[in-house]
Amino acid sequence: MSLRECGYKVKACKLRRLGALQLAVKRYGIRSVNERLLFLGRFHPVMLQDIEQIYPEPDDTNHCYLRNYGYSVKSGKRKRLRAIMRAMSDHGQRTVGDRLMMLGQYHPIMIEDLEEISSYF
């Protein structure tokens, strides 16, 4: 798999990089793209920043966007948990839990956050 074939260049602007990553996700799947970005991110830190920007398409039953609540996998644990609590107040525990489980396949820290927040309930 080559991200370069999809037009990805680390020196390109953010919008162009994300467009190339969207194309790569359609061609190769999000898991392969994530693995490639993690591997190459050791040499090009911008790739690690781009990982946070690619997410799978939401399914029909889950329209909860955690980013809208200030959730970021690079934020501190406390900030992430507060964002989850705010999302749960709007969308419910089940919806937010499902979202974290789905995205946890790509960002394992989300599974840890789900386990942590579950201990409160």
Output the pLDDT for position 30. Answer: 81
Q: Nearest Cα to 104, choosing from 26, 31, 53?
A: 31
pLDDT mean over 78-89: 93
pTM of the model: 0.52
Residues 17-49 pLDDT 10s: 988 998 898 888 888 888 899 899 889 989 988
Q: Tokens representing 116?
A: 């942590």
Domain boundaries, the chain: 4-51, 66-118
